[in-house]
Every structure is written in structure tokens, then in C-alpha cells.
Structure 1
Amino acid sequence: MSNVGGLRTGHGAGRPRPAWITGTVAEAHRLTAEPLARLRRGRLPLAFGSAAAVLVLWSLHFSALGTYVLRLISDVSASTPFYLVIVRLPASMYAPAPNLPVWGSLLQVFAVFGIAEACVGRRRTLTVALTATFLCTLSGRIMCYLGPGTVVGLPWISRYVSDTGPSAAVVALVAYVCCVRRAPRALTVLLTSMVTEVTLLPNLAGREHVVAIALGIIAALSVPAARRLRRASRGALSPDSGIVTDDHAVLP
């Protein structure tokens, strides 16, 4: 038998979806709606430029001269002098990663940089990416210095492992955007996968990825705190606050 609306009993069209499905769909929309709209208009210059940088640096290793140039401008490890780490920072972020194929780097960079560019802007995307890359490299140096005798330490041989590639920047940006755009489910998936990685493969890259998640979350929490501090400082210096800002100010 069918009801008045022509639907069989027990198959109503208004049955609500489970909350986790609704929440996941809402998160996916918040994270991808604006990036997809900009992609259709071709307005993701940072994502396209970053993907092009990955391709250019990857293509250098096909010749002896290109390999030399690539190492000169981007090669970074825990044994690299600190000033060279800073000089090579931008290129090292886009350079080929030791255990990641080029298509993986391209996919990561284009998708994550594109989402971040659309959600938080180019300047903030680059700031978070470069800062996370630098601090993750620094944390790798510290872990190698501590040595295998500590919980977070690494074997001395890890000092000479190449520490290039976009993974740290990508992980930090994903964590940052998930916090800013209120996507706790996506952040949980990221955190679970990175903890699983470092548990199964406790190497330099895996531990730096966990550090990158922490840096992305800290960056997301620091932005509203900095805004509140800026508003408070502006309010403290306003004439209505009663603070003397010039020779003619009058206290209430």
C-alpha cells in the first residue's frame, strides 16, 4: 500500500540523515566551496605557482648540472649550517621529497595550497607554510641532537637525511585551515593518520608531521588572540579611555 504522497510506508523522503554525515558534508562544503569557485575562474595563482615550482625543481634532477643546482639551492638536512637552512628555505619547501613521488607532491601542494589560499588568503598561506617548514626543520635538528637515548630523539644518522619537500607545510596548512573553518572531523582524521604514521614509522619525517599539526593549531589559535590584543591596545590608546595621548588630553 502507498500513502497519500505516493510513497511506500517506511520509506519517507523526510527521514533525517545521521548527524555525522550532516557534519561531514557541512565541513566539506566549508573547506571546498570557495576554492572550487575560484578554481573555475582561474583565481588560484599561489596554488598554480607552487605546483609549477614543484615541477621545475623536480625536472632539475634529470641532468648532472641540474642536480648540482638543485642541491645548491634547496638541499637541507639536520647537518646543514643554520644560515644555509634560512637561505634555502623557500626552495626546500618545493624541492622533491625523499620518499614522495612527484605526483604526490603536486597533488598535495595544488590541493592544500589552493584551499588555504581561498580560505585564508595568499599572505597567510605563505606565512604559515614557510614558518612551519622552518620550525619543523629546526625540530628535526633538535631531535637528532638529543639522540636515540631520549623519547623524542632520533639516531645520529638522521642528521644526514634530506629534509626537503612540502609535507610539513601541507600538514600545517591543513591543520590551520581545519581550525579556522571549524572542521574538527577533518582535523581528527589528520591527527589520527599522522600519529599512526609516526607510530609505525618513527622516522624524521613522521615526527616532523606531528610537529606540523601542532604548529598549525597554534597558528590558528594565535590569530584571534592577536586580534583581541590589537583591539585592546587600540581601545587603550583612544581618547575615550582616559589615557593621556597628548598634551591636551583630559582625564575623565
Structure 2
Amino acid sequence: MRTYARWARAEWGVLYAAVREPLRERGLPALPMTVAAVGLTALLQYVQNQPWGYRPVQLVGAVRAEDPLALALLRTPLSLFVPALDLPVWGALAQILLVFGVAELCLGWWRTLAIAYVATLAGTLYARLGITLGAHAPFGLPWTDAQVVDTGPSAAVVGLAVFVSWRYGAYATAGAVTLAMVVEVLVKENLAGKEHLAALMAVGVLCLLSALRHHDRPLPCRAPRQRWPGRRAGRGSGLPPIQS
């Protein structure tokens, strides 16, 4: 048990410190964007399941590769919050609450939205490229995928999870999420899985740019580093050093 505890402390100690204090002091009011995102996703899910609501939600928030590019770009911001009709909405809401919430506490709301948008946009643009390449190309897609709705919030969730994990030293977690997405494509080769990989590649570029920008600078953290329960902060605390 002590070995697992040390590993957990080394993996998530800095991330835990960044998240704990604002949540302890303010609770959910520390997560205004995340709460709004969860509420908007739940609302869109409810509306699109009504006889009168499916078409309006599709018109403003459903992105397909067959759509004109300008129209797809206009719909992409809202598409982050349109959950897939064939998947349980509670899973999407839980993912948004956890991943968007941690990212908002660590990075701030506008950086969280920016990274989420980049990840989603990467998947959207990849779908167009893959269909252009064709089904027989190494990274191609069949033409039928042009009519499939893009991933919704899942690409943003995957991208944010990897970026925040990497930025705060949880490298095993970032690697596990990436590996899971690769396995998803190998087991079930579909548009969503490949869009997730495209999102990860885009986030990988953001990680590289962040590393270059913050070289030899401390991690961006909206709260001061907090002590891990039962340990003394500082030298010998078991927490990993802050690295860019």
C-alpha cells in the first residue's frame, strides 16, 4: 500500500494541490464555466431528444464532414456540448464535470475552452482530410463517414485530460489516456476514435509549445501549492518538483 501511495503522490501530488484549495474555499462557484458547460450539455441533450428539438440542435451544433467548411466552423464551438445520441448522457456529463473542472481550476476558464476548441477542431478537420484520402489510404476514411456527426464533447475531454496531466507532471496518466485512445481505434475502427487521435496530436503540439514557452518557469497554478495530507511540504515531501 505504501508503494501505491508514494506512486499516487508522485503522479498526482502537484495536480491535487492545484485543485484542492479553490474547491475547499469556494466549492462549485470556483467552476463557473464547467457548471455552465454541464448545464448546456444537459439542456441540449434534453432538447434534441424531443420531437420538436432534434432539428434545431442539428442546425446549430451538429458538424459533419459533408457540411461546407464555413458552416462547420460556425457550428464547432457549440458542437463541444452536443452529446452523442447513441451514448448515455450521464457519462458525458460526468466527464465534462471532472475533466473540464480540473482544467478550469488549473488553467483558467479561457485556456480550458481554447484547448477544448483546438482538440475538437482538429478532429473536425481530420474527418475532411480522411474522407479526401479515401478508405484505402493509411489515415483515410470511407465516404460514408462524411454523414456521421462529429464526436461532440469527447474529443475536448480527451485533449484536456492529456494536456493537464502532462502539464502537471502526471505523465503516466497522460500516457494511459493516449494508449486507451489507440486501443479504441484498433478494437473499433470508427470516425470517433480517429478523431480522438487527431485531437491528441493537436494537443501534443500545444504541449510542445507550452514546454518551449514555459521553459525553466513554474507551472501555471491558480492556487498556491498545498500540502499533501499527512506529509510536510518542501524537501522530502514526496511531491515531484515542478517542471515545465
Scaled to the shorter chain, the TM-score interval is 0.7 to 0.9
Q: Tell me if 1:177 matches 2:164.
A: yes
Counterpart CA distance in 1 for 2:45 and 2:85 is: 12
* CA distance in 2: counterparts of 1:99 and 1:34, whole angstroms: 35
User: Larger radius of gyration, structure 1 or 2?
Assistant: 1
From 18, 27, 31, the counterpart of 1:34:
18
- Report the Cα distance in structure 1 between the residues aligned to 2:126 and 2:182, rounded to whole angstroms: 17
Q: Find the aligned partners of 1:34 and 1:100 in 2 and give their Cα distance.
A: 32
The aligned counterpart of 2:133 is: 146
| Distance in 2 (alpha carbons) for counterparts of 1:70 and 1:172 | 24
Report the alpha carbon displacement of residue 201 of structure 1 after superposing the two structures with TM: 0.8
What are the ranges of 5 or more consecutive residues in structure 1 without an aligned counterpart?
A: 1-15, 229-252
8 Å Cα contact 2:135/2:142 also seen in 1: yes
Deviation at 1:200, TM superposition (A): 0.3
Deviation at 1:190, TM superposition (A): 0.7
Structure scoring higher RCO (CA < 8 A, sep ≥ 6) equals 2
How many Å separate the matches in 1 of 2:16 and 2:148? 35
CA contact (8 A) 1:128 1:173 kept: yes
Per the alignment, residue 240 of structure 1 pairs with none
Contact 2:122/2:195 (<8 A) preserved: no
- Offset from partner CA, 1:149-201 (integer Å, 9 cap, x none): 11111111111011141011111111111111011110121111111101001
Aligned to 2:105: 118
- The CA RMSD over aligned residues, in Å, is 1.8
Letter in 1 for 2:133: L
Distance 1:37 1:58 in 2: 32
TM-score normalised by length of structure 1: 0.78
Distance 2:167 2:36 in 1: 24
Paired residue secondary structure (2:80) = helix
Any idea what SS the aligned residue of 1:54 has? helix
In 2, Cα distance between the equivalents of 1:78 and 1:23? 43
The match for 1:245 is none
Question: Which stretch shows the higher mean deviation, 63-72 or 126-135?
Answer: 63-72
Give the TM-score of the pair, scaled to structure 2.
0.81
Equivalent pairs counted in the alignment come to 212
Question: Residue 113 of structure 1 contacts residue 125 of structure 1 at CA under 8 Å; is this kept in 2?
Answer: yes
Percent of residue pairs identical: 36
Specify the alignment match of 1:3 in structure 2.
none
Amino acid across the alignment from 1:31: L
C-alpha change, 1:67 and 1:36, in structure 2 (3 Å) is farther
| Per-residue CA distance 1:191-242 (angstroms, 9 max, x = gap) | 11111101001111111111222222221221242457xxxxxxxxxxxxxx
Code of the residue aligned with 1:60 in structure 2: it is: V
